[in-house]
């Protein structure tokens, strides 16, 4: 059994035993690997956000919260290949690179059979030219969008001129592999798009921003025809 199916099987083994704990030795015997391999696998699951935990002392071992785990996800081989391609694009954009890596670990751990094989074969043949966006910038932008607050940023435009702005975020636009924050710029008193890899610093504030419709700020721009990704439709709460 290679690592990806083993990670999934390890989660299911702990899930089946929950709320009891299983020792590393017992898990190693179950999967016919060394205790060191099991320890590495358990650490990888923890880093991926899987709710596994260890307890020490008599009767101690590793356990999982069954309420926070998911059953197997039955992807087709075509769906698995599509996910691999989408994850590669998201990773290359840098905006969500770290989160994408942990999400991909969870997805990989859930796939079995032909889907797992298709994903592994395609993933081994994809390379990207990454861009760079500071983690602090991404976090500040996400927080401002989620909380509806004013964002304070330093921005370098296409001509190399740097300026400080207070903006009222409306949403994110992705185009040609780049990510843009669409916001009402208080300095320009107009809607503006700020390319995230040109934001050198960003800090969310506690000041509530006025609400702005994303489509309204894009009106009249080259991105006026932008549409919501169909893949996200099921995640959007509609009135």
User: Does residue 239 surpass a pLDDT of 70?
Assistant: no
Query: What architecture (CATH level 2) is domain 135-235?
Result: Roll (2.30)
Asked if the 3-68 domain carries CATH number 3.40.600.10, the reply is no
Decide: residue 112, CB within 10 A, 0-12 exposed, 13-18 middle, 19+ buried.
middle
Mean pLDDT of 83-88: 81
Which pLDDT band holds residue 91 (cuts at 50, 70, 90)? low
pLDDT at 94: 57
In the chain, CATH 1.10.10.10 sits at: 3-68
CATH 2.30.30.520 occupies which residues in the chain?
Answer: 135-235
Give the per-residue pLDDT at 235.
Answer: 57
18, two tokens: 């929950």
User: Whole-prediction pTM value?
Assistant: 0.60
pLDDT of residue 195: 94
At 101, is the secondary structure helix, strand, or coil?
Answer: helix
Q: What is the mean pLDDT of residues 139-146?
A: 89
Could you give the 3-state DSSP secondary structure of residue 152? strand
pLDDT over 70 (residue 32): yes
**Structure-token match 């890596």, residue found:** 101
* Phi/psi-derived region of residue 201, left when phi > 0, alpha when psi is between -120 and 50, beta in every other case: beta
| CA atoms of 160 and 166, how far apart (whole Å) | 19
């Amino acid at each position: 059994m290679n690592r990806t199916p083993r990670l999934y099987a390890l989660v299911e083994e702990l899930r089946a035993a929950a709320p009891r704990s299983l020792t590393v030795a017992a898990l190693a015997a179950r999967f016919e690997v060394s205790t060191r391999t099991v320890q590495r696998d358990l650490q990888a699951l923890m880093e991926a956000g899987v709710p596994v935990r260890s307890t020490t002392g008599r009767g101690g071992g590793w356990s999982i919260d069954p309420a926070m785990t998911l059953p197997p996800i039955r992807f087709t081989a075509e769906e698995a290949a599509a996910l691999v391609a989408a994850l590669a694009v998201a990773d290359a954009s840098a905006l969500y690179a770290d989160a994408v890596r942990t999400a991909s670990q969870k997805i990989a751990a859930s796939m079995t059979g032909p889907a797992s094989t298709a994903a592994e074969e395609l993933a081994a043949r994809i390379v990207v030219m990454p861009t760079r966006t500071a983690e602090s910038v991404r976090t500040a932008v996400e927080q401002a969008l989620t909380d509806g607050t004013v964002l304070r940023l330093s921005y370098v435009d296409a001509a190399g001129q740097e300026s400080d702005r207070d903006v009222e975020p409306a949403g994110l636009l992705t185009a040609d592999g780049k990510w843009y924050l669409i916001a009402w710029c208080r300095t320009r008193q107009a809607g503006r798009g700020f390319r995230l890899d040109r934001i050198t610093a960003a800090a969310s504030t506690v000041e509530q921003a006025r609400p702005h419709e994303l489509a309204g700020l894009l009106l009249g721009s080259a991105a006026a025809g932008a549409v919501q990704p169909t893949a996200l439709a099921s995640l959007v709460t509609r009135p």
